[in-house]
Amino acid sequence: MLRLPLFVVVLIVSGCFSKTQLLAQDTTASKTTLLSMDLDRRLQTYRSVYDFKKGEVIASIGAGSGYNEIVYSLMADSLSFYLQDIDVAGLDIHVLESNVQQIYQRAGRTYCNTTFLTIRGSETNTNLPAQLFDKIIAEHSLHEFTRPSEMLQSIRANLKPGGSFFVEELIAKRPNRTHPVCHKTFFTEKTLHALLDANGFRLVNKTAISQKMGGGVVFQYQLR
């Protein structure tokens, strides 16, 4: 049995993939096209939202397998991505390596200079380093937090001064609406901003995401 420590480092720095490594497990033309279309749409949609810059250090809270973050790594050179989750299954190094190879192949890249690190957190602590991150993202995960205030205080401690916390959520127009899958309560804009404000964050930007990419809203916060 593989025991996953808090910090599992996957270094993919200045790495070139051989033709053998780049063989996709999914070889059907239709699925390849769909994956490529999703990749292109995600890059086009989120490039201006996150505006990643060369050399930035980024964390993703509730990253799962890291698919989205691998796509985002195509946006700028020499990024460092900390992929954080409480679900051990989502932190499988071999899955991460396979996803990097497949996504970079779809993008026509044979070279990756991003560093990926996987971190197992808890319900109250990200277990991420203090004041390290230029940007922290939480995509469709904040509404699932069982101890949101404790987690937000942990995220505060992880951000560099001047850093940004991006929260993407499906926003309910009426209170007490629940997610059909996880059955957690959706945020309204009012309840989301109240939670972030109570934990020392201020809203600096808001971007609506197209229905083709899920129809959520990305809110950018910084420390007050």
Residues 96-110 pLDDT 10s: 999 999 999 999 998
Q: At what angle do helices 29-50 and 93-106 cross, to 10 degrees?
A: 90
Burial 171-205 (b: 16+ CB within 10 A, else e): bbeeeeeeeeeeeeebbbeebbbebbeebebeeee
List 203's β-bridge partners, or say none: 221
Decide if 161 is inside a domain. yes
Decide if 22 is inside a domain. yes
Residues 42-58 pLDDT 10s: 999 999 999 999 999 99
CB–CB of 200/145 below 8 Å?
no
Residues 148-196 pLDDT 10s: 999 999 999 999 999 999 999 999 999 999 988 888 999 999 999 999 9
Residues 82-98 pLDDT 10s: 999 998 777 888 889 99
**In 113-155, beta strands by DSSP E:** 115-120, 133-139
Decide if 58 is inside a domain. yes
Decide if 80 is inside a domain. yes
Compute the distance between CA of residue 205 and CA of residue 23 in angstroms, rounded to an integer. Answer: 40
Which two tokens mark 25?
Answer: 């497990």
* Domains contained in the chain, number: 1
DSSP annotation of 142: G
Decide if 39 is inside a domain. yes
Domain containing residue 44: 7-223
pLDDT at 206 over 80: yes
Nearest to 36 by CA among 91, 92, 109, 94: 109
Decide if 1 is inside a domain. no
Compute the distance between CA of residue 76 and CA of residue 11 in angstroms, rounded to an integer. Answer: 17
Nearest to 176 by CA among 187, 167, 168, 166: 187
Decide if 2 is inside a domain. no
81: domain CATH number is: 3.40.50.150
pTM (predicted TM-score)? 0.85
Compute the distance between CA of residue 193 and CA of residue 190 in angstroms, rounded to an integer. Answer: 5
Least confident span in 2-11, 42-51, 106-115: 2-11
